[in-house]
């Protein structure tokens, strides 16, 4: 890309002492600011897996479910107690619980005719670690 220094409104990079990075500079592995020693950018398969997990969490009702479980004794609640607390119908609640369970964020245990859901803190830590800025 070239700059027309005669174009109105053009800032003369030399006049202001601004260093211009070229695409070659940006593409160079050592120019990637987010890479720390001993780390690397996410591989595509890892990025796909993380994106799927984030999609599972990225819903207001699902975030409320996670929040309710974080506050519960043993981070566990019966499905019958979650739906009324969030003012959501039972079919809608079942849908959201299924998505969170398939993503590994919750575990499901059958106790008689009731389904109990428990938060998996290690899974939330994995999500947090992937997004953490050290």
Q: Across residues 48-55, what is the average pLDDT? A: 93
Summarised one tens digit per residue, pLDDT across range 28-46 is 444 455 556 557 788 899 8
Half-sphere exposure of 34 (CA within 13 A, CB side): 9
Q: Give residues with Cβ within 8 angstroms of 12, minimum separation 6.
A: 5
pTM value surpassing 0.75: no
Q: What is the pLDDT of residue 85?
A: 86
pLDDT of residue 19: 53
Among 3-12, 39-48, 107-116, where is mean pLDDT lowest? 3-12
- Long-range contacts, stretch 60-66, CB < 8 angstroms, 24+ apart: 61/86, 61/88, 61/92, 61/93, 61/96, 62/96, 62/99, 62/100, 65/93, 65/96, 65/97, 65/100, 65/106, 65/117, 66/100, 66/105, 66/119, 66/124
pLDDT band at 75 (very low <50, low <70, confident <90, very high): very high
Residues 6+ apart with CB under 8 A from 50: 42, 127, 130
Q: Is the pLDDT of residue 21 over 90?
A: no
Mean residue pLDDT across the chain:
80
Q: What is the pLDDT of residue 24?
A: 47
C-alpha–C-alpha distance, residues 67 and 105, integer Å: 12
Helices assigned H by DSSP within the chain: 13-16, 23-27, 44-57, 60-71, 79-86, 90-102, 121-131
């Amino acid at each position: 890309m070239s700059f027309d220094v005669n174009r109105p409104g053009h800032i003369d990079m030399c006049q202001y002492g601004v260093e211009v990075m070229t695409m070659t500079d940006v593409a160079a592995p050592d120019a990637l600011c987010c890479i720390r020693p001993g780390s690397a950018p996410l591989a595509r398969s890892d990025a796909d897996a993380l994106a799927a997990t984030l999609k599972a969490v990225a819903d207001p009702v699902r975030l409320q479910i996670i929040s309710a479980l974080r506050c519960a004794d043993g981070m566990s609640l019966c499905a019958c107690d979650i739906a009324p607390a969030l003012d959501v119908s039972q079919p809608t609640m079942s849908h959201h619980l299924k998505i969170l369970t398939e993503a590994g964020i919750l575990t499901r245990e059958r106790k008689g005719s009731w389904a109990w859901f428990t938060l998996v803190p290690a899974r939330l830590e994995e999500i947090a670690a992937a997004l953490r800025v050290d």
